[in-house]
Amino acid sequence: MGSVPATAPPVTGGATAATGTGEPDDQREERPAWLDRFTLLLALPSFLISLIVHVVMTAVAALIVFTGPQVMQVALNATSSDSVATDELDLNDLDFSEMELEQAELSESMESLLDTPTEFALETPTVLDTMPLIVPDAMASLAEMMPAGGEMGMGEAFNHRNNADAREQMLKNNGGTAASEAAVELGLKWIAAHQLPDGSWDLNHQAGPNPGNFRRSPNPGLPEGKFGATGLALLPFLGKGYTHMEGKYQATVRNGLAFLIRNIKNEGRNGGSFHDARGTMYSHAICTIVLCEAFGMTKDPKLRDPAVAALRYIVFSQDPIGGGWRYQPQQPGDTSAVGWQLMALKSGSMMGENAPPFVFERTKKFLNYVQSDGGVRYGYTGPSAAPGRGTTSVGVLSRMYLGWNKDNPTLQEAIEYLGDLGPDTRMEAGGNERRSDAEANMYFNYYTTQIMRHHGGKPWEKWNEVMREFLISSQSKEPFTEGSWFFDNGHSSHVGGRLYSTSMAVMTLEVYYRHLPLYRSEALEDEFPLD
């Protein structure tokens, strides 16, 4: 993920000019010569000034013509990305306290935080409001799952999560078990126990108050990633149907949402940002998914503006040339970051807020660039002779959401390739304070599980049986770590630590009901009874 941005060097030397501060004249700087020349310019006749301006403008136009379109494009890019000032919202300008919630008991500190008047208002109408999206076929395929004669309205794509009977039926129909659900509940219990008093989580789960020494679980992640950590922690609760209005974790979810909304950074006409030092655009996408899902599930109006602002920032942040996303806005992309942004935009679509079509066309352009084997496999920042498993699974799932239908020959070849690889269930005997006996690549497992679930059929059944039993058996049963996972596999595992591993494992076990399958033509009533 990203690195901590460098701070600006201190300004040294020179005196500060007096500007009506009451300082003696002899302590003021001498009037600079250029200011006198500027004053003289203002004194020129207006027709002469007009002539000078027109001559300069003509010269600039000629320069653009003779230097070609690429120079003009660079100029446009610089203008669009550099001209907008960004300000951090004052926490006193936000209002989350007026939400009509069925609240569980909160600590006095949280009550005082949430009583602060807060209102996140967009400065201008969002492009997501004024530019309706004509979505690609696969993203529109949610409509194919509607009962005959009905229309899937705002947020209805999340209705199954709010229905316990629906989730139970989907669990049973799609390969989940009582043991997998028990593992989900244990995982959520561990995550909830590590929430901080301000409603956030930290990738270093050992940080914060520690009554009863419950923060003694090993394998902490790195600090300075509270946005990403909070988003990762909240997603599994929403996946199971727990919101700030329903379920036994209402206070947990409510406090987490309050933390996000209090701390969203106002980026002016470009929306709202969840950048942090550790996660950059990764953190932003994860928090955006949280807000979109929470709004889609509850229709709580207090969540809409922050969700739309976050979606709008993703649109702004896309690389206008290569079509991807990475750590910083408009930076040339990488496949991993692209996957998270696309999932956030898809969540926005499911809650009823759509991005303009050009965003998805640019994303296809990026995927075309990083693909190999005709689209079966995908590199990280470009085509690769040996593409990674994780980037390949992200690329294939992105293609499914961008319009590949189930019968697409390249998708079928990719399904066969991923199926032959199978879930990563690597184990290593013996562990210590910093290592785990599980070395599985959960990034690959998480994305490929979604691919197989959307595809269905024999490839899904084969994948699911192995994946499900591995996660059940590798979940910790030990004191302090009970209910959690840690997979000792590369950079993301050590940045995200046990909290990241646990969240990814829980969401993988929620796959039976977390999202409706893309490729399904029959009515939802065949999956579960509708109210």
- CATH architecture of the domain with range 91-526: Alpha/alpha barrel (1.50)
d(CA 531, CA 528): 10
pLDDT at position 169 is 95
How does residue 398 score in pLDDT terms, banded at 50, 70 and 90?
Answer: very high
pLDDT at position 168 is 95
For 282-325, the three-class secondary structure string (H helix, E strand, C coil) is HHHHHHHHHHHHHHHHHCCHHHHHHHHHHHHHHHHHCCCCCCCC
pTM of the model: 0.72
pLDDT at position 77 is 30
pLDDT at position 146 is 23
328 pLDDT more than 90: yes
pLDDT at position 430 is 46
User: Is the sign of the CA dihedral 348, 339, 203, 224 positive or negative?
Assistant: negative
Which runs of E-coded beta strand occur in 375-461? 377-378
Q: Lowest mean pLDDT: which of 76-80, 119-123, 238-242?
A: 76-80
Query: Which residues contact residue 473 at a Cβ distance below 8 angstroms, ignoring those fewer than 6 apart?
Result: none
pLDDT at position 116 is 37
2 pLDDT more than 50: no
d(CA 268, CA 309): 9
527 pLDDT more than 90: no
Pick from 360, 247, 278: which is nearest to 314 by CA? 360
391 pLDDT more than 60: yes
Mean predicted confidence (pLDDT) in 507-514:
98
197 pLDDT more than 90: yes
25 pLDDT more than 70: no
Query: Which residues contact residue 265 at a Cβ distance below 8 angstroms, ignoring those fewer than 6 apart?
Result: 86, 87, 88, 89, 272, 273, 274, 275
d(CA 288, CA 343): 9
Mean predicted confidence (pLDDT) in 270-285:
90
Phi and psi angles of residue 274, each rounded to the nearest 5 degrees, phi first: -115, 35
d(CA 68, CA 197): 57
pLDDT at position 435 is 45
How does residue 276 score in pLDDT terms, banded at 50, 70 and 90?
Answer: confident
pLDDT in tens, 62-77: 433 333 333 222 222 3
Phi and psi angles of residue 482, each rounded to the nearest 5 degrees, phi first: -55, 130
Mean predicted confidence (pLDDT) in 315-341:
97
d(CA 205, CA 223): 9
The overall average pLDDT reported for the chain is: 75
d(CA 275, CA 511): 28
CATH 1.50.10.20 range(s) for the chain read 91-526
Backbone region of residue 296 per phi and psi (left: phi > 0; alpha: psi in -120 to 50; beta: other values): alpha
